Structure 1
Amino acid sequence: MTSQQVQLLFVDLALILLLARGLGWLLARVGQPPVVGEILAGILLGPTLFDGAVAGALFPADVRAPLTGLADVGVALFMFIVGLEIDTTSLRGRGRVTAVSAFGSTAVPFLLGTVLALWLLHEHPSEAPMAFIVFVGLSLSVTAFPVLARILADRGLTTTELGGIALATAAVVDVVAWAALAAVQATVGGGGNHWLVALVLPYAVLMFTVVRPLLSRALLRGGTAARLTAPAAAVVLVGALLSATATEAMGMHFIFGAFVFGLLIPRHGAAELRADLLDHTGRITSLLLPVYFVVAGLQVDLGRLRGAELLQLGAILLVAVAGKFGGTFVAARTQGLPARPATALGALMNTRGLTELVILGIGLELGLLDGTLYSLMVVMAVLTTAMTGPLLSRVYARPVDLGCPAGHREPDPVKASSV
């Protein structure tokens, strides 16, 4: 890079962090997740304003390449955090209600999304129509586990029974979504070397039967872990990056490898270690993810949307909200949850956030989404995330006791004091 390119890169990074943090702080002040403001910052720096003149001047092609590299590192570490935060102990005592709620939260929006995709296919033709239909259904059924967890924490609901059900359900939905996305990626991607995808099975066996015990032995001493040390942090980050490299080499996306490595981190007796890992890795992603938002925002052009596109946006929003909310609500009610907590659970599952942006980015990369449809789906991600807080405040301002629906839930060994 020339000296001028380096200077522009540093200016861009400073501007990205300033605008993302500023809008994130402003949105947090009105009860929104900061990620909503950070995504908006990316859109504002893109071609939507001034017909792309600002984006072209600030982010020329020779500067976008290093920004994209930084963004990829940021999203890989973010996916590691997603895997790290998923804790199977949250399923304890909630197996049936979690499974049924996760099914409703995934299957209903997916099926409605595939019907919507049949209509969208006429306006956005694809060379792989079946993959397009599956991808649209999948993108409408996702839930952003990290954003949901932070919403619950901000409202003091994490340790309540509803919070436990929401976290467990979102974890299951996330794992199903990433597995399904991996299948789509394997079908459409691969660069002609689809045989490499066959290596996924031995990779998974190696990771869970060899790497996981070795990692536990390296991080735990006497069955428990002390606070995170610099060597331990290096081992974890190197492992996450190499795992991401492995899945990318197999024709999958690097995010899957990072996500899987996050699942491998020990849970039992390692609470402090995991908290330190979340803190240290979170500090890195807090600097790099705003770059990802801008890289994603450079593909979003809302200035050219007309009546037909706005109609499509309305349909996408209707299916996304009705499918997620309705599917979760009905499923939760069948398991004996009272109406208000079931409504709150439906509102929480409608959170999409950065997870949706990652999935949409893969769809754009695979050629399943064109620029217009990508822009519409990004708007859907922002709006559905933004409506979660106000909806939750309206339907669940005062927590209620869920009780213990007989015949629907296993006894929970750790009872929440209030919900």
Structure 2
Amino acid sequence: MSTHQMTTFFLALAAISLLAFAAGALARRLRQPPVIGEVLLGVLLGPTLLNGTVSDALFPEDIRPLLAALANIGVALFMFAVGAELDAGLMRGRRFVAGAVAVGSIILPFLLGVLLALYLFGSHPTDDRTGFVLFMGAAMSVTAFPVLARILTDRGMQRTWLGTVALACAAIDDVLAWTLLAVVVAMSGAGTGSQWLLLLFVPYVVLMFTVVRPGLRRLLEHRRLTGPGNPAAMVLTLSGLLLSAAFTEWIGLHFIFGAFIFGAVMPRRTTRGEPSDVTGQVRERISSLNDFLLLPMFFIVAGLKVDLAGMNGTDLLELGLILAVAVGGKFVGAFAAARATGMQNRPATALAVLINTRGLTELIILTVGLQLGALDGELYSIMVVMALVTTAMAGPLLQLIYPVRPMPPGTGPAVPPAGRTGGGQETFLTDLAPDNVNSENAPIRE
């Protein structure tokens, strides 16, 4: 690597960090998740504006492979964090409604996505029609757990009944969506490994949960390894997630699955059953650099592949159809399932809106689809717009449905029931509370 390349590379890293921070701050001022501003920045720096003049000046072709490599590390760390944030405790007392809504919000958009793919295949043909159809179904089914969690946290709803149900649904959605994507990747045969190596995936997952997870729990409790100021926990975690990512890439699946699974097996409790804070501490330390440099780099690399300058009437029609399927399928599926469990109209509507959040998770899936050849450049660009729209609309719609109101002094919130009623269905009683109580934001009592 020449001195000129190294200099340009460091300048590009500085530009990415500064511009992404500014874009995220602007998004926050507009009451949007920072990911919206960061993704828009990547799109605007790409060929959409000025025919790529800005991106060519900031990110010359000879350093883009380096940026892409660091972006992949950022994605792996992000997927680890997603897996580590999955908490089975969210399901406590809410398994019925969360499971029903999650399944409803996956099945309907998946089926509609498959039907839409059959229509789009004529204008966006690929070598593998089955892979294209299944991929579009999976892409329509995604919910972004981290972005949804951020929206709820910003509104102080992460500990409410509605907030925890939404998080539980998103967690189940994530697992199902990644499973669907793994099937698509395996069927495409586009991985680096042979088809026979894919058979190792099931025993690998079993081994991770039955052997690696207990082993990690014991290691992370050992004072000599994880005492104050000891970096052993971080080294063990980074090494483990990178090895896991390398394994799934080697057998023919994408590295994101290995990183996600390693995050999922990180222990939440000690061998004595007490809550463990080691996983949270490691996740926070990993996220520090990732949030300010590596993930913004992924947005830049992804944005450089988006070209909206040449969109015509046909592209706008396809965008409209994709938005209708993505938004309508998720909303109707989640809303119908929520109502079927006994939830009332307003909380069911809010839950369906939240489940439509896609964010960075959708971008990762779209990037995988582009790498597999399941998407061409035009359809990839349109799908990125869909991811932005569905994420940006969640906050304003939620504010419209559930406007945040200050609690009267000394007023205690009513607590919605988290258990199952005698009728065999979980019931959401928020709308039955007195009008002067902001019960939709009531905290959970575990």
Task: Note the alpha carbon deviations across 1:148-181, whole angstroms, 9 max, x for none.
Answer: 0111111111111111111111000000111111
Amino acid at match of 1:305: M
1:361 counterpart = 2:367: yes
Moved over 6 A (4+): 225-228
Pick aligned residue for 2:284 from 279, 286, 296: 279
Candidates 421, 426, 432, aligned match of 1:409? 426
Aligned partner of 1:230 in structure 2 is 231
Which residue in the other structure is 1:41 paired with? Answer: 41
Q: Which residue of 2 aligns with 1:4?
A: 4
Q: Secondary structure at the match of 2:309?
A: coil
Q: Which residue of 2 aligns with 1:209?
A: 210
Q: In the alignment, which of 319, 322, 336 is matched to residue 316 of structure 1?
A: 322
Map 1:355-394 to 2 at 5 A. 355-394=361-400
| Paired letter, 2:354 | L
Q: Report the counterpart of residue 146 of structure 1 in structure 2.
A: 146
Q: 2:70 — aligned with what? A: 70
The code of the aligned residue for 1:325 comes to F
CA RMSD of aligned residues (A): 1.9
Question: How many equivalent pairs are there?
Answer: 413
Query: Unpaired runs of 5+ in structure 2?
Result: 406-413, 429-440
Structure 1: which 5+ residue stretches go unaligned? none
TM-score by length of 1: 0.95
Distance 1:192 1:407, change over 3 A: closer
Asked if the contact 2:416–2:442 (Cα under 8 Å) also holds between the matched residues in 1, the reply is no
Maintained 8 Å contact 2:343/2:426: no
Q: Distance in 2 between matches of 1:51 and 1:417?
A: 50
Contact between 1:341 and 1:402, CA under 8 Å: does it hold in 2? Answer: no
* Contact kept in structure 1, 2:192 and 2:249, CA below 8 Å: no
Q: What are the equivalent positions in structure 2 for 1:259-298 lying under 5 Å apart?
A: 259-268=260-269, 269-286=274-291, 287-298=293-304
CA distance in 1, matches of 2:85, 2:131: 30
Task: Tell me, in whole angstroms, the C-alpha distance in 2 between the residues paired with 1:227 and 1:336.
Answer: 48
For residue 18 of structure 1, report the CA deviation from its aligned partner. Answer: 1.4
Which residue number corresponds to residue 15 of structure 1?
15
In the alignment, the residues of structure 2 paired with residue 240 and residue 382 of structure 1 have an alpha-carbon distance, to the nearest angstrom, of: 29
SS of equivalent residue, structure 1 residue 252: coil
- Is the CA contact (8 Å cut-off) linking 2:90 and 2:168 kept in structure 1? yes
TM-score, with length taken from structure 2: 0.89
- Greater shift, 81-90 or 181-190, is seen at 181-190
The aligned residue for residue 244 of structure 1 is 245
- Give % identity: 52
**Superposed CA offset, 1:8-29 (max 9, x none):** 1111111111111101100101
CA distance in 2, matches of 1:165, 1:293: 29
> What is aligned with 1:174?
174
The code of the aligned residue for 1:72 comes to N
Q: Is the 8 A contact 2:343 2:427 kept in 1?
A: no
Residues 1:338 and 1:410: Cα distance change in structure 2 (over 3 Å): closer
The separation in 2 between residues aligned to 1:3 and 1:418, in whole angstroms, is 57
Distance in structure 1 (CA, Å) of the matches to 2:91 and 2:52: 47
- With over 3 angstroms needed to count, the CA separation of the structure-2 counterparts of 1:122 and 1:308, relative to structure 1, is same
Indicate if the aligned counterparts of 1:228 and 1:273 stay in contact, CA closer than 8 A: no
Assess if the C-alpha contact under 8 Å between 2:356 and 2:390 holds in 1. Answer: yes
1:325-344 pair list within 5 angstroms: 325-344=331-350
Alpha-carbon distance change, 398 to 28 in structure 1, aligned in 2, over 3 angstroms: closer
| CA shift in 2, pair 1:398/1:341, >3 Å | farther
Letter in 1 for 2:282: L
User: Which amino acid counterpart does residue 205 of structure 1 have in structure 2?
Assistant: V
Kept in 2, the 8 Å contact 1:247–1:256? The answer is: yes
Say yes or no: does 1:346 pair with 2:352: yes
Q: CA deviation at 1:277?
A: 1.9
Partner Cα distance (2:94, 2:284) in 1 = 28
Indicate the residue corresponding to 2:90 in structure 1: 90
Pairwise CA distance, 1:245: 0.6
* Alpha-carbon distance in structure 1 between the residues aligned to 2:415 and 2:48: 47
Distance (Å, rounded) in 2 between the aligned partners of 1:275 and 1:229: 16
